[in-house]
Amino acid sequence: MGTPTDLSPAARQAAGVCTADALAARYRSVRERSIELASPVSAEDAMVQSMPDASPTKWHLAHTTWFFETFVLATLPGYRVVDEAWQVLFNSYYQSVGPQHSRPMRGVLSRPSLAQVLDYRARVDARIADAFARDELDVALRQRIELGLHHEQQHQELLLTDILHAFSCNPLRPAYRDDLPVSHTAAGAQDWRRFDEAIVDIGIDRWPEQPAFAFDLESPRHRALVGAFAIATRPVTCGEYRDFIRDGGYRTSTLWLSEGWAAVQANDWQRPAYWRDDERAFGLGGVRAIDDSAPVSQLSYYEADAFARWADARLPTEFEWERAAQGVEVDGNFVESGRLQPAGDARDGLRQMFGDVWEWTSSSFLPYPGFRPWDGALGEYNGKFMVGQQVLRGGSCASPRDHLRASYRNFFPPHARWQFSGLRLAKDLA
């Protein structure tokens, strides 16, 4: 990543290099969380790939292990990879590292078995632990481990959303977990938070030059002119979205972008993904009654944009969203809550900026002025995807809390609707 390895202790601290013991503990915690999230999934479930955009649970477990093996262990003297053939199977899109197995064909990988993948994880974890114990990890490698842990947290969320999509395709509609709690907390009234026109600092200084971890796409920190706007104090709820459906939202072409209307017609969209026509919806807890107070989720950008137009409002830009979120505590309904479903929040004021649902913005996923991807193969992580996608902000009920911040930028193509993606309204101020 082009990171120095000869920093003084003070410079190391300034560069965001945590102590070896703290990083080793975090490594164990994140890796154990992946196994915990995969534990309800059977070996048969773990190899299902229900669409090209999703990946099997087994592949997520293996790919995140491949990341540590390839970018950390393989740089150590004398290390030999567990299996040369797996270097192809579990490489996602790193062209500079080598060839990859076809993404839409990950579901045919019955071998290696789930047991072999779990053994692969255990062997790599043991070698990483040994590297910590032997003090073999310089600053650059410890930074790669930190990046790898945030990478794995992204895949933890994908593991959940991908298995949800896979189970939704099964006529039995099996639950990922049938013991998930049911929440019916009232949403509280929607109000508006007003912001005057201002020049706002957006993004975060480049990591690892600054202490807090951030992906390269969040930098550099820069100034942006943000006009006067108002933003809703909470996300749009299922009940409010149901009003849009009842008012003919999916039958009114004038509410939709051209590509969105084409998607509605081509895919026969009539409601959010996983909603049924009997007032119930499918989730990680199985088929349950729709909670009208919970934030609506599993929406495409097109659906979020059409709803905003119907509501005589619009989606916020990502700069407006970040301005509103600056100074707001990263608190809410995350994967740690155990709900694994969006829930209502009856508190007053600006709320649910983090957790519950990723919030679509009107901003295309583009580089910030002066953006530089990381050096080497890791530069492929984000920069090459900066076309044809929309930015989402805030995190979801499947996101780890310590993975998020106000500057965090997620991105998906506008047709994607299998994530916990919803919306928050905004409007211009005269």
pLDDT for 30-73, tens place per residue? 999 999 999 999 999 999 999 999 999 999 999 999 999 999 99
Whether the Cβ atoms of residue 302 and residue 257 lie closer than 8 Å to each other: yes
Instruction: Write the CB contacts of 414 (distance below 8 Å, at least 6 apart in sequence).
Output: 259, 260, 300, 301, 302, 389, 390
- Give the domains, in start order, of the chain with CATH numbers: 9-168 (1.20.120), 192-428 (3.90.1580.10)
Residue 235: name the closest of 396, 102, 15 by CA.
396
Helix axes 57-71, 114-133, angle to 10 degrees: 30
Show the low-confidence residues of the chain (pLDDT under 50). 1-16
Residue 4, pLDDT score: 33
Residue 162, pLDDT score: 98
Residue 185, pLDDT score: 85
Residue 15, pLDDT score: 43
> pTM of the full predicted structure?
0.94
**What are the Cα distances from residue 12, in Å, to 24, 73, 135, 138?**
17, 21, 15, 11
Residue 238: name the closest of 285, 192, 184 by CA.
184
**pLDDT tens-digit readout, 339-371:** 999 999 999 999 999 999 999 999 999 999 999
